[in-house]
Amino acid sequence: MRRISDNDLLNHYIVKHHIENIFDKDILKHAQLHFYEKEEYILEAGSNLEYYYLLVDGKIKVSYPFENGKSMLLKFYREFNSIGDLELLKNILILCDIDAIEDTYLIAISSEILRKEYLDNVKFLHHLIDSLSEKLYATINNGSYNFVYPLINRLSSYLVEHITDKNYIVLHSSYIEIAQFLGTTYRHLNRTLKELESKSIINWENKRIYIVDEDRLRELAKNLYMKSL
């Protein structure tokens, strides 16, 4: 993480995403701009929420870890979205793991300051309601996908979300981590990648995955994890 001290850029994002509709100017005095590079982790479940974040540029992935060490992909977020609503409001430890999957800019505001001074600010309350209801809606929808669709669909969706302008994807996590992220085992992930390969949808060479048939991949993906954004 790098803290970016470029006020012009900060203001650019504030204007671009109409953040003055959310926070009054005196709150925005506390706003910082944080930068995370691709593949950097942003938040870890179980730790304390130091900042309430607004995702203003880039892309992140959110997953929920279980007791047994497994986890479940919840969704991918692009700008504009907020991070930490629930933890801020209920004053609980962070629920989800969050990683940047592209270079990402976040506006960060101290959660302590927000809790102490701005939890009755009507603008902010309206924003929280919007954000919470959006997330609840998405979560109800999404939880169902993990339940209903087999791994080949979730994996396809995962790959689609990582497509760049190149014709291949470079995976930066270990396969074990990716499996956990998708809520399955390494063994089954491996099997399913092989299956995609045998169907000539991808070609697979170490950590580099060539997209052979993007159309069929997208068809399998059914836009699962981004659908409700």
Partner DNA sequence: TCCTTAGCATGACATATGTCATGTGCAAAT
Partner DNA sequence: ATTTGCACATGACATATGTCATGCTAAGGA
- The residue (of 32 and 203) whose beta carbon lies closer to DNA is 203
- The residue (of 147 and 165) whose beta carbon lies closer to a copy of itself is 147
Chain positions 162 to 201 lying near a copy of itself, rule: CB under 8 A, are 183
Return the residue of 74, 98, 106, 151 that touches a copy of itself, per CB under 8 A.
74
Greatest CA separation for the chain: 58
Chain positions 153 to 182 lying near DNA, rule: CB under 7 A, are 174-176
Return the residue of 20, 29, 41, 150 that touches DNA, per CB under 7 A.
150
Chain positions 186 to 225 lying near DNA, rule: CB under 7 A, are 186-188, 190-192, 194, 206-207
Query: Of 22-30, 35-43, 113-121, 185-193, which segment contacts DNA by CB under 7 A?
Result: 185-193
Query: Of 5-13, 99-107, 130-138, 167-175, which segment contacts a copy of itself by CB under 8 A?
Result: 130-138
Q: Are 142 and 73 contacting, i.e. CB atoms less than 8 angstroms apart? A: no
Question: What is the size of the binding site for a copy of itself (CB under 8 A)?
Answer: 33
**Quick one: what does residue 192 bind among a copy of itself, DNA, none, with the CB cut-off 5 to 8 Å set by partner type?**
DNA
Q: How far is CA 229 from CA 61, 135, 136, in A?
A: 13, 9, 12
Q: How far is CA 93 from CA 5, 53, 88, 168, in A?
A: 28, 15, 9, 37
Residue 135 in the binding site for a copy of itself (CB under 8 A): yes
* String marking each residue 66-105 x if it binds DNA according to CB under 7 A: ----------------------------------------
**Quick one: what does residue 142 bind among a copy of itself, DNA, none, with the CB cut-off 5 to 8 Å set by partner type?**
a copy of itself
CB of 163 to DNA, least distance (A): 20
Give the β-pairing of 32-36 and 2-4.
antiparallel
Residue written as token pair 């060539």: 210
Residue 38 in the binding site for DNA (CB under 7 A): no
Contacts with a copy of itself by CB under 8 A lie at: 64, 66, 68, 70, 72, 74, 85-86, 89-90, 92, 95-96, 120, 122, 125-126, 128-129, 132-133, 135-137, 139-140, 142-144, 146-148, 183
